[in-house]
Structure 1
Amino acid sequence: MSNASHLATLDMTLRVATVADTSAVAAVYLLSRKTFLSYAPLAHTDAEVVDWLRHILIPTGQVYVMEQATQVIGMMALSPADSVRWIDQLYVHPDWVSQGVGSQFVRFAQTVLSPPIRLYTFQANERSRRFYERHGFRAIAFTDGSDNEECCPDVLYEWNL
């Protein structure tokens, strides 16, 4: 996937995240979570999130950032695991929601990952559910949330050709 690490559209650039991006990625992740997912409080402190990003998630090479004028405005983490590929994280800075950032991330994932592609979102996150459905994802399972850290009911989505 790193071969397709740059995509420039409308003055936005999608690229692979580096450890140097940790603070900016954490800022987007935390602000987006706190702004839009107040019903699903983080199970970890901000410092633990930064540590996870810096030492675990970003070093996988599967984290992408969207920049506008060198400012990170979104982040996405992919997992090409076994027979199913995953969008594990997709967060956009609140000031950039509904500006095409998330759509560019999803189109990129659909280009570089072979189907099926799966992701989870919270059942209460109506905005995200509509977004993923507009991009061709279909709900395939609903859970009570007992398997996620936030213990919030979620929905499993899948995209297939």
Structure 2
Amino acid sequence: MTLSIREGRLADADALAAIYLACRREMPYAPLAHDEASVRSWFADALLQTSQVWLAERDGQIAGFAACSMQDGMRWLDQLYVAPGHQGNGIGRALLGQVLSPSKQACRLFVFQANAGARRFYEAHGFTLLRLSDGQDNEERCPDVLYQWLPDTKE
């Protein structure tokens, strides 16, 4: 199986939205804040227009994606989703590596507190917990965690 990573394009919006929706359906603790049509529109009209988006293709099929932004001088990992049928095969690790490797700058992200798998993943990749919150600042109103990754300054 061949894995490649490339920049996302507007033509990928539907495939990326489908992965996002499939993953979010598996999160009963965090109901979607928007209907599917709005989510699909957001991918095409906002996310792919304003964020740096990387996607992973396995044997020609889009298997996952990551989206980053810069806010107040800080790099943020806003989205990282791997399609349910492709999880556990190193795709998330490859995408995260793509996000973190181009620069030696800190990166932050939020994840739902109940998402134990994602929390283990980020902690295993060097992210440290900065803050727990009650979720009042996210659209789903679900308790979340703020994590931060710092580059290795010993190099």
Q: How high is the TM-score relative to the length of structure 2?
A: 0.93
> C-alpha offsets along residues 93-112 of structure 1, whole Å, 9 cap, x if unaligned?
01111110000111111102
Cα distance in 2 for residues equivalent to 1:143 and 1:97: 27
Which of 5, 12, 19 is equivalent to 2:3? 12
Q: Distance in 2 between matches of 1:86 and 1:61?
A: 10
Task: Write the deviation string for residues 98-140 of structure 1: whole angstroms up to 9, x where unpaired.
Answer: 1100001111111024321000000011100000000000000
2:97 aligned with 1:107: yes
Q: 2:22 aligns with which of 23, 31, 48?
A: 31
Q: What is the RMSD of the two structures over their aligned residues, measured on CA atoms?
A: 1.1
Alignment partner of 2:38 out of 43, 48, 55: 48
Partners of 1:16 and 1:61 within 8 A in 2 = no
| d(CA) in 1 for partners of 2:68, 2:25 | 22
Partner of 1:91: 81
What's the CA shift for 1:58? 0.6
**Residue aligned with 2:24, SS:** helix
2:84 maps to 1:121 = no
Separation of aligned partners in 1, 2:115 and 2:102: 26
Pair 1:69-2:67 in alignment: no
Counterpart CA distance in 1 for 2:16 and 2:46 is: 13
- Can you list the C-alpha shifts for 1:61-95, whole angstroms capped at 9, x where unaligned? 51111111221110110012332110000000011
Conserved? CA contact 2:17–2:43, under 8 Å:
yes
Q: How many residues align?
A: 151
Tell me, what secondary structure is at the counterpart of 1:112?
A: coil
Q: Secondary structure at the match of 2:101?
A: helix
For residues 98 and 18 of structure 1, what CA distance do their matches in structure 2 show? 25
Tell me the distance in 2 between the aligned counterparts of 1:125 and 1:113.
Answer: 27
Is 1:17–1:61's contact at 8 Å kept on the other side of the alignment? no
Q: Secondary structure of the equivalent of 1:106?
A: helix
Query: Contact between 1:121 and 1:154, CA under 8 Å: does it hold in 2?
Result: yes
Unaligned runs of 5+ in 2: none
Structure 1: distance between partners of 2:139 and 2:72: 23
Identify if the C-alpha distance between structure 1 residues 11 and 55 changes in structure 2 by more than 3 Å, giving closer, same or farther. same
Identity %: 43
